[in-house]
Amino acid sequence: MHINKTTSQILSLLKTAPDFHNNCIQEHLQTGSTIPVSHLSQNLYLIESGFLSCLRDIGTDEYLHIILQAGDFLYLLSDDEETPEIMACEALTDVTYWKIDISFFKKMIQQKDSDNAIFTAHSNKSRKNIENHFLLDRMHPEERIYFTLLTLMRLGSPVESNTVQLPAFVNHQKIAEYALTPLDYTTDILNQLQENQLLEKNGTITDVAAFNAILESKNILTLENSLQ
């Protein structure tokens, strides 16, 4: 099983404790199953492999869709009132994760991560997810679809130097959901990309450079960079 480098580093840190297996339990989720929200405050959850789709309540009847992958926590002790509450988490693929006792994790981090690198990385990603949501809100629907594809490309697997395979869970419905656009409209835009031989039906971006040129022409990369 491939383990994300960040996951491996965190687990290596925790495994230095003799009581690791008393406080950290490896568990599995099948595609489509969920982690009960009522359990989220009782333990920490570190994803080892697979993808989770989580919904955060950001108020005013708005919800933030985020995709978590290997190396991500559902939340950490550094989360504060500014971090939207998770409402639901569904496995987009088969998922392996570690359920970690909060007190044990806090003790180990105080001993082994004095510079708070783990908390900082998690906080930065949480903030980036929120910023991307508000960036989407400023975009034209077509631009939202392109931006969502860019996000999914970064979760994908390079096939060749200019080709990327999107994650296996990606389909028209998911893209529409994350882009906040109607399914029929989303399908029309994706069909145009297929006709222009930039996207294959199996979810492969066949010309990353050409796709990036579209993003640049619509100032999508400029908007994203302005948030950094």
Q: Give the CATH number, domain containing residue 195.
A: 1.10.10.10
Q: How much is the pLDDT for 8? A: 80
CA 90 – CA 150 distance, rounded (Å): 22
Domain boundary residue, one of 117, 133, 149: 133
Tell me if 222 is assigned to some domain.
yes
Same domain, 115 and 63: yes
Same domain, 79 and 160: no
How far, CA to CA in Å, does 144 sit from each of 22, 92, 109, 166, 198? Answer: 45, 21, 38, 17, 17
Tell me if 2 is assigned to some domain.
no
Instruction: Give the structural domain span for 101.
Output: 7-133
| pLDDT averaged per 10 residues in sequence order, the chain, 228 residues | 64 92 95 80 88 78 81 71 64 94 89 80 81 85 94 92 94 94 96 94 93 90 66
Tokens of 135: 């960036």
Tokens of 118: 């783990």
Q: How much is the pLDDT for 226? A: 61
Angle (deg, nearest 10), helices 183-195 and 141-153: 70
Ramachandran category for residue 50: left, alpha or beta (phi over 0 → left; psi -120 to 50 → alpha): left
